[in-house]
Structure 1
Amino acid sequence: MPEPSQFMFTYHELIAAMVKQAGLHEGKWQLIMNFGLGAGNMGPTEAELVPGAMVAVTSIGIQKAIDGAPAALVVDASVVNPAST
């Protein structure tokens, strides 16, 4: 059987994994991403250059969910990583 070469994760799976890694057992958390932006001339040939922008994800993390954050983007640490009793 071939070994997998890719693994895909949903938003909730990423947040849950980070909550567990951080040892969090309470609070509601959401994903945060920092982006870098670069500009330049782009095109398939020199004659077809146009101004363009490149966006890079520079970091991914979690932050306490803000009031009113959409429930679809929030993970409850007490559900995904309950404290041991």
Structure 2
Amino acid sequence: MNDSEYRGGLGAGGSWGCALAAVIGLPVLIALSLVDSLGDCAPDTNCHKSFFWNAALPAAIVVLIVFAVVRLVARTFGRGD
């Protein structure tokens, strides 16, 4: 395959970004889920615990930041994609 043909799939930066985002994001999600499930609401209060706002959204933000930083570093210092 010569250089003028399309090469599908992720490049080096995307592959490393996905791998490190998963390795870092999964423990963050587990830890946030554990913290969210601990404790109880005080009696006679309207307590709205939300998995999405307290665990899933912050973990997703961490994953996106890790992916973007790793991909940027790979593109800057390596062949990248």
User: TM-score band (shorter)?
Assistant: under 0.3
> Which structure shows the higher helix fraction?
2
Q: TM-score, normalised by structure 2?
A: 0.24
Q: TM-score, normalised by structure 1?
A: 0.24
